Amino acid sequence: MRPGEVSLAHHGVLFLDELPEFDRRCLESLREVLEQGVVRIARANVACELPARFQLVAAANPCPCGDYGCPGRDCRCDDAALARYRRRLSGPLVDRIDLVVAAGEVPWSVLRGPAEGPTSEAVRARVIPARAIQRVRGVACNAEIQDARLDELVRAEPAALDLLGRAVERMHLSARVARRLLRVARTIADLAGESTTGPEAVAEALMLRKLRSSE
């Protein structure tokens, strides 16, 4: 029995392009893997576990034709087609996606111009100290913080918890999403050099996971 792509991505990145186009059963099988960090296979009289702790990165079009929400383009998808496309990603799988970035069209004038934003070296200079702080907590990264130690290690301020509570009720977020938001907020606070997790970090974490229009 040979390891597949998920196990080969152990301690690395698994990139899935056109995520909604994958077989639904394949996507749903990722749910347990993302939680447990292992792939369990049982075939006849053989059972084994393969390591699979990776960072999932995925990309998807906004609709089947790819033009939904694009200025200057007419989306050819009707409401039924849009609904079917969005249902390809189940709620429990979406709950396990921490960060969502919308990538719109880039004008040619920007494409041909000089690169904007921080360089990789500048970002690396911020990430290395943040990772060092996380290792002091006993984890390789904040995503590995166990639920039992979440309050102790995240150190969320009362105002931050109040903001998160309001968001959970208004957006109807699950308990799993709330815990994952706290881990993301703790990472944002680490990058900012903050010893506690404040409402600003929680607000940014909420903005970074707004995936569906219902949220």
Q: For 73-99, write each residue's pLDDT tens digit.
A: 889 999 999 999 999 999 999 999 999
* Per-residue confidence (pLDDT) for residue 113, from 0 to 100: 85
Q: What percent of the chain has pLDDT over 90?
A: 76
Q: Is 152 exposed, middle or buried (0-12, 13-18, 19+ CB in 10 A)?
A: exposed
Statement: residue 174 has pLDDT above 70: yes
Q: Which of 210, 199, 121 is nearest to 163 (CA)?
A: 199
Mean pLDDT (the chain) is 91
d(CA 129, CA 135): 10
Examine the pLDDT at 165 and tell me if it is beyond 70.
Answer: yes
Return the pLDDT at 211: 53
Q: What is the arithmetic mean of pLDDT over 168-185? A: 95
pLDDT for 117 equals 84
pLDDT at 213: 37
Tens-place pLDDT, residues 95-122? 999 998 888 888 888 888 888 889 999 9
- Please count the residues of the chain: 215
Q: What is the pLDDT of residue 154?
A: 97
Domains of the chain as residue ranges with CATH: 5-97 (3.40.50.300), 120-207 (1.10.8)
113-122 CB burial, b ≥16 within 10 A, e <16: eeeeeeeeee
Nearest Cα neighbor of 25 from 85, 90, 96 is 90
pLDDT attached to residue 102: 85
